[in-house]
Amino acid sequence: MAENKCDELFGKNGELVEYRKKQVLEGAFGIIQRHYEDKPNKMEVIAKLFGKKLGEEFRVDEEECRKNLICKITERGLFFYHSSYEAWWQDSGLLSELITGEAVIVDE
């Protein structure tokens, strides 16, 4: 039995919140698949999900340690600028973190 209203609404350990996040993501990907079936590359759609255009630079803060990364989404994936090497590096892990909310786009 739930100990309080929050436990009743969200589950004792937030299970319902995690389940709902999963449902929302699955719904978004379903929409993408239905409306863009004819396009094999979905990166433009992924960029639009975040309010960005392909190649547009933006800043991202990530939960663990990466702050204020300069990023861009291209047809080949999400890239971040590595200032030590003065080069763009592809990072699919960061894209997953953006999708799940573990990283956020910082609007200036």
Tens of pLDDT, residues 65-77: 677 889 999 999 9
pLDDT digits (tens, 9 = 90+) for 44-67: 889 998 999 999 999 998 777 677
Backbone angles phi, psi at 99, to 5 degrees: -65, -40
10 and 56 together in one domain = no
The boundaries of the domain holding residue 61 are 40-108
Whether 33 and 49 share a structural domain: no
**pLDDT above 70 covers what percent of the chain?**
76
What is the reported pLDDT for 91? 82
Shared domain for 89 and 45, answered yes or no, is yes
What's the CA gap between 98 and 30, in Å, rounded? 18
Same structural domain, 33 and 44: no
